Structure formats: structure tokens, C-alpha cells
Amino acid sequence: MKPAGDRIDALDWARIEKELDERGWSLTGPVMSARECADLIALYGERERFRSRIDMARFRFGIGEYKYFAEPLPEPIAEMRSALYRRLAPIANRWSKLLGGGAYPRTLGEYLKVCRASGQDRPTPLLLRYEAGGYNCLHQDLYGELAFPLQFTCVLNQRGRDYLGGESLLVEQRPRAQSRGEAIGLDQGCGVIFPNRFRPVPGARGHYRVNVRHGVSTVTKGTRWALGIIFHDAK
């Protein structure tokens, strides 16, 4: 396959941007090969590759576990994170302008320098594992004062073969309205881009913020593996 960055650049970014604006999420299609997915799953047992492990039940986050990668990030994660950020930064800046916020740097390297200056210097890409009965409660991935407004999840094994259930969940709450939910199924090596915290929605008096939370529905059979790429680092 082509290098990970080239695969990201080759995505239909006009479609992705349109869907992010219209519904708040967009599927990328395949971005990782089955071999790359298997290689990432195999890293889970290598303790030195991770900075921390979270038992979700202990913190009432759900049932399952995840591990945050340590620096240096493995390839192709580092390349994908950088390439995704470069493509998403213009969207993030346009959203921020609509909502009266500040600007984001053009490259991930520049943005991580800003994070470090604010005390956020721990990498946030992670691997997640859910056994049958596992799930992830609705939440937002906020690790400090700085938060990039978009993030990415890629499923690493095949639904219907390796696991059942385990859809990616998105729930948005518009002011003075009931919540709206989406259940998104992903095939192996395919990703979804979605808001980290909120997104702009046009209204009668300009754009307003819609709060967005995400999670994972209950895995009913097998084991679900996923890669999460968050662009801001943690305190």
C-alpha cells in the first residue's frame, strides 16, 4: 500500500468537509490494511510501547480497556496523525471563526508546541479493546485547556466476523431540543471523523454551538479493537 500520509491525502476531502458541515461526521473508507491493523493489535502486549492503561470499569467509563501510546508513536500512527491534522486544520479554523474562536496552526508539529507550552505534553493516540459485554459511555476527550475540535477512530478488526455490536455512537444536543443520536458501523481499516466537543450549526442569527458526545454501543460477541487519534496532547 501507499504510505499512510499519501492514503490520507488521497481521501475525498471535499466530501468529508461537506458531510462534517451537514451532519457532524464523515466516513473515510479504508485507510489501513488488514496487516497494519493486525500489527497494531499485536503491539497491545508490549508494555514499553504505552504510557498508561485504563480499566474503564474502574472509572465508570464503561466496560473495556484502553492504552495510550508512549513517544515515539509507532508508524503509521504518527504519519496518519500528522496527515489528518494537516487536512483537518482548515476545517477546524473555519469552524472556529464561525463560533468566534481562535486559529489553529497549519501543522501538527506547530500545534503540539502550543500544547506543550500549556502543560499538555503526553501523547493521546490510543488502542481500545472491548470484549463481549463491553461498551464506552458517552463522553468527550478533553485533556486540558486546549482541545482540537475534530478527531478520528479506525476499527482494527472486522465486524460480523470478529465481533458483533460495538457501533460508534455520536449524540448531539442542540439548545432547547431533544438529543439526536447516530450509530455508525465501521469495517476493518476504515475510519470516522467526528467532533471532539462541539460543532457549528447555522441558525436564524448565525452559527451556534452544538454539543457532541461519543461512545461505543455494547459488543454482543467477540472482541472489538480500535485505534483512536486525538490531536491535542494531555496534561
- In the predicted structure, residue 175 carries a pLDDT above the cut 90: no
CA torsion, points 198, 144, 40, 136, in degrees to nearest 10? -60
Q: What is the mean pLDDT of the chain?
A: 97
| Residue 43 confidence (pLDDT) | 97
Cα dihedral across residues 140, 58, 156, 85: positive or negative: positive
Is 202 within 8 Å of 124 (Cβ atoms)? no
Residue 165 has pLDDT above 90, yes or no: yes
Q: 203: Cβ–Cβ under 8 A, 6 or more apart, which residues?
A: none
- Higher-confidence residue of 163 and 1: namely 163
Q: What is the mean pLDDT of residues 8-27?
A: 98
Band the pLDDT of 174: cuts 50, 70, 90: confident
pLDDT of residue 79: 97
pLDDT tens readout for residues 116-158: 999 999 999 999 999 999 999 999 999 999 999 999 999 999 9
Residue boundaries of the structural domains of the chain: 4-229
In the predicted model, is pLDDT for residue 194 greater than 90? yes
* Rounded Cα–Cα distance for residues 6 and 23 (Å): 26
pTM: predicted TM-score of the whole model, two decimal places = 0.97
Read off the pLDDT of residues 200-216 as tens digits, 9 standing for 90 and up: 999 988 999 999 999 99
Instruction: Flag whether pLDDT at 1 surpasses 80.
Output: no
pLDDT of residue 75: 87
Output the pLDDT for position 159: 97
For the domain 4-229, what is the CATH superfamily, name and number? q2cbj1_9rhob like domain (2.60.120.620)
Give me the percent of the chain exceeding a pLDDT of 70.
100
pLDDT in tens, 51-105: 999 999 999 999 999 999 999 999 889 999 999 999 999 999 999 999 999 999 9
Quote the pLDDT of residue 69: 98
Q: What is the pLDDT of residue 38?
A: 97
